[in-house]
């Protein structure tokens, strides 16, 4: 920890500037001072220095004397220009290259002398107001959010859609007069609310312009978490990036980005996660680069997830489920997720390709961007192809009454140990539960018809001490896939499995 405090005088205000490099919780800089009646109807300039390499600046402002009708209004200037003003209506604001709190202007955070402008509309004679501005500089890349904290604090299963498009790429919907126009982000957000979703990732192609809209909408949609997302769209395939607003160079095949592995490594450097999209989609003049054909082939250890179920190909030859299962069979431990790939936010829930069809359901410690992404990384996920609000698929297992693992976890089961497996299914009466082992064609147990709307089933499985993956799924009576889980990985290394060629 390093801290330097400087005291100086400026226009009658005593300021203390404290610089600390000890993590995101403590401010990088604190500006303090006093305002008296002598400054009534004046503008108080509070300069401060922004170092090089800052991506985002956040200001939190407090002052005393409100009960005596003191009012202090805020504005801010960078070294070159005005960057916004919020009067007395925002005690906290943030500015970055891509997005800013409404009232403020996004753009690069330029190094140099910035000025916090405190306008004083009212302070009574004899009143002294003490103010403090805590200023945070984000430099190192990390998971980013549009909310200040979790939207819900409790652990649980959260439902979301991880793939959709708006006006910021090729999403469209009817205008007031009925023309198809670029569709505003809030239309997609409202579709997610109609579906009853807890989180969404708007994944417009390659651009970062959608984040400004999401920054504005998040406080209004305070039950719907927005995950910063983007569809990295290349000539060799598409991949969704989650958790960062920072630019990522998508120009695969150029000197700067020779191959898809470079994209994945850059995603990791930005603290984000990356997922392969619609891997079995065909490439052609209808959809350029839609198929997954990276040259050279990627190192799949760099990818956290595969979009096994894409709304445009829920079933049939273009479904990504077989591609995902092939990678599981090759020994990769990689999470299967879903995404609607919706391009028409206005479509009603009844439309087969509307927002939330399919829904990805994630077990997370709370409803926040870091926790949802942690849940995806961990494979604590099932896909609801019906986009319901209530269907559930949970599987847990323990060997010889040892620690309990859930979908996505590794489980140690020595040879001849007995694994007890519990599956909880809800909302699927009349459907069939299958648990496959190592291949979709090899069932660990005979299929079971689910009789009740809420049912818990128990199985016992003998381990041979070797490596296996056990994957649950539920099929409707007619055979269509309804719910798809993630594997429990038996006798895999706890964290990163070795590649099996």
Kindly write out the interface string for residues 193-232 of this chain, putting x where it contacts Zn ion by CB under 5 A and - elsewhere.
--------------------------------------x-
158, burial (CB in 10 Å: exposed 0-12, middle 13-18, buried 19+): buried
Greatest CA separation found in the chain? 84
Number of residues that bind Zn ion (CB under 5 A): 4
Alpha carbon 222 to chain centroid distance? 15
Are 483 and 471 in contact, with CB atoms under 8 Å apart?
no
Tokens for 388, please give them: 């319901």
Neighbours of 432 (CB within 10 A): 16
Q: Which stretch binds Zn ion (CB under 5 A): 85-93, 238-246, 250-258, 353-361?
A: 238-246
Please give the Cα distance from 41 to 217 (Å, whole number): 33
Q: Which is nearer to Zn ion, 314 or 425 (CB)?
A: 314
Q: Which is nearer to Zn ion, 231 or 384 (CB)?
A: 231
Q: What are phi and psi of 172, to 5 degrees?
A: -140, 160
Please give the Cα distance from 266 to 142 (Å, whole number): 12
Q: Which stretch binds Zn ion (CB under 5 A): 100-108, 141-149, 334-342, 381-389?
A: 334-342
Are 31 and 115 in contact, with CB atoms under 8 Å apart?
no
Residues 244-303 interacting with Zn ion (rule: CB under 5 A): 277
Are 405 and 411 in contact, with CB atoms under 8 Å apart?
yes
Selection from 304, 312, 387 nearest residue 342 by Cα: 312
Are 27 and 13 in contact, with CB atoms under 8 Å apart?
no
Residue 484 CB, shortest distance to Zn ion, in Å, is 20
Q: What are phi and psi of 38, to 5 degrees?
A: -60, -20
Residue 238 CB, shortest distance to Zn ion, in Å, is 4
Q: Which stretch binds Zn ion (CB under 5 A): 133-141, 211-219, 336-344, 368-376?
A: 336-344
Q: Which is nearer to Zn ion, 96 or 240 (CB)?
A: 240
Q: Which is nearer to Zn ion, 163 or 195 (CB)?
A: 163
Residue 233 CB, shortest distance to Zn ion, in Å, is 6
144 near Zn ion, judged by CB under 5 A: no
Q: Which is nearer to Zn ion, 32 or 360 (CB)?
A: 360
Place of tokens 């410690």: 365
Among 161, 204, 212, 341, binds Zn ion (CB under 5 A): 341
Q: Which is nearer to Zn ion, 231 or 482 (CB)?
A: 231
Q: Which is nearer to Zn ion, 106 or 243 (CB)?
A: 243
Q: Which stretch binds Zn ion (CB under 5 A): 100-108, 235-243, 388-396, 461-469?
A: 235-243
Please give the Cα distance from 422 to 108 (Å, whole number): 52
Please give the Cα distance from 136 to 94 (Å, whole number): 9
Please give the Cα distance from 361 to 377 (Å, whole number): 13
Q: Which residue is nearest to Zn ion (CB)?
A: 238
Are 293 and 284 in contact, with CB atoms under 8 Å apart?
no
Q: Which stretch binds Zn ion (CB under 5 A): 138-146, 322-330, 335-343, 376-384?
A: 335-343
Query: Strands 71-77 and 112-122, how do they pair?
Result: antiparallel
Residue 241 CB, shortest distance to Zn ion, in Å, is 12
Residue 151 CB, shortest distance to Zn ion, in Å, is 25
Residue 277 CB, shortest distance to Zn ion, in Å, is 5
Residue 191 CB, shortest distance to Zn ion, in Å, is 15
Residue 446 CB, shortest distance to Zn ion, in Å, is 38
Q: Is 161 helix (H, G, I), strand (E, B) or coil?
A: strand
Q: Which is nearer to Zn ion, 159 or 238 (CB)?
A: 238
Q: Which stretch binds Zn ion (CB under 5 A): 217-225, 262-270, 339-347, 405-413?
A: 339-347
Please give the Cα distance from 332 to 94 (Å, whole number): 40
Order across the sheet with 454-462: list the strands.
405-406, 392-399, 418-426, 454-462
Residue 30 CB, shortest distance to Zn ion, in Å, is 44
Q: Which is nearer to Zn ion, 291 or 440 (CB)?
A: 291
As a residue count, the chain comes to 501
Residue 67 CB, shortest distance to Zn ion, in Å, is 52
Q: Which is nearer to Zn ion, 208 or 473 (CB)?
A: 208
Query: Strands 305-310 and 273-276, how do they pair?
Result: parallel
Residue 172 CB, shortest distance to Zn ion, in Å, is 13
Please give the Cα distance from 292 to 238 (Å, whole number): 7
238 near Zn ion, judged by CB under 5 A: yes
Residue 376 CB, shortest distance to Zn ion, in Å, is 17
168 near Zn ion, judged by CB under 5 A: no
Selection from 127, 112, 111 nearest residue 36 by Cα: 127
Q: Which is nearer to Zn ion, 28 or 234 (CB)?
A: 234
Q: Which is nearer to Zn ion, 233 or 371 (CB)?
A: 233
Residue numbers of the site for Zn ion (CB under 5 A)?
231, 238, 277, 341
């Amino acid at each position: 920890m390093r801290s330097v405090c400087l005291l100086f005088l400026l226009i009658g205000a005593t300021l203390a500037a404290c610089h600390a490099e000890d993590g995101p919780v403590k401010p990088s800089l604190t500006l303090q001072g006093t305002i008296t009646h002598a400054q009534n109807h004046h503008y108080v300039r509070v300069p401060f220095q922004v170092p090089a390499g800052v991506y985002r600046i956040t200001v939190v402002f407090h002052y005393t004397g409100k009960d005596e009708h003191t009012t202090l209004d805020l504005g801010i200037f960078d070294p070159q220009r005005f960057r916004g003003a919020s009067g007395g209506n925002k005690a906290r604001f943030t500015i970055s290259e891509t997005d800013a709190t409404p009232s403020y202007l996004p753009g690069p955070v330029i190094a140099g002398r910035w000025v916090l402008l405190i306008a004083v509309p009212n302070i009574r004679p004899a009143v002294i107001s003490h103010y403090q501005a805590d200023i945070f500089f984000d430099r190192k890349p990390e998971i980013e959010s549009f909310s200040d904290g979790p939207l819900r604090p409790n652990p649980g299963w959260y439902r979301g859609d991880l793939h959709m498009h708006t006006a910021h790429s090729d999403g469209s919907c009817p205008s007031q007069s009925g023309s198809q126009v670029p569709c505003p982000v809030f239309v997609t957000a409202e579709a997610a609310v109609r579906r009853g979703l807890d989180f969404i990732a708007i994944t417009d192609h390659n651009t970062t312009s959608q984040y400004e809209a999401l920054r504005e909408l998040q406080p209004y949609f305070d039950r719907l978490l927005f995950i910063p997302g983007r569809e990295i769209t290349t000539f060799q395939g598409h991949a969704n990036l989650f958790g960062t607003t920072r630019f990522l160079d998508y120009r695969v095949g150029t000197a700067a980005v020779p191959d898809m592995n470079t994209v994945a490594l850059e995603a990791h450097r930005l603290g984000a996660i990356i997922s392969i999209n619609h891997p079995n989609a065909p490439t052609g003049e209808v959809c350029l680069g839609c198929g997954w054909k990276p040259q050279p082939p990627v190192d799949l250890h760099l990818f956290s997830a595969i979009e096994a179920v894409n709304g445009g190909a829920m079933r049939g030859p273009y479904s990504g489920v077989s591609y995902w299962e092939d990678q599981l069979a090759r020994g990769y431990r990689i999470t299967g997720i879903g995404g609607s790939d919706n391009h028409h936010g206005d479509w009603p829930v009844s439309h087969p390709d509307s927002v939330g069809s399919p829904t990805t359901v994630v077990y997370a410690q709370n409803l926040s961007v870091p926790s949802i992404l942690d849940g995806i990384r961990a494979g604590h996920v099932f896909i609801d192809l019906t986009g319901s609000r209530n269907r559930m698929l949970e599987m847990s297992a323990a060997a010889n009454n040892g620690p309990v693992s859930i979908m996505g976890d590794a489980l140690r089961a020595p040879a001849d140990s007995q694994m007890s497996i519990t599956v909880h299914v809800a909302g699927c009466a009349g459907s069939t539960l299958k648990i496959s082992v190592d291949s979709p064609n090899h069932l660990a147990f005979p299929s079971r018809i689910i009789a009740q709307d809420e049912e818990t089933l128990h199985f016992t499985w003998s381990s041979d001490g070797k490596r296996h993956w056990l994957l649950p799924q539920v099929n409707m009576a007619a055979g269509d896939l309804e719910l798809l889980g993630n594997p429990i990985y038996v006798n895999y290394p706890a964290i990163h499995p070795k590649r099996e060629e």
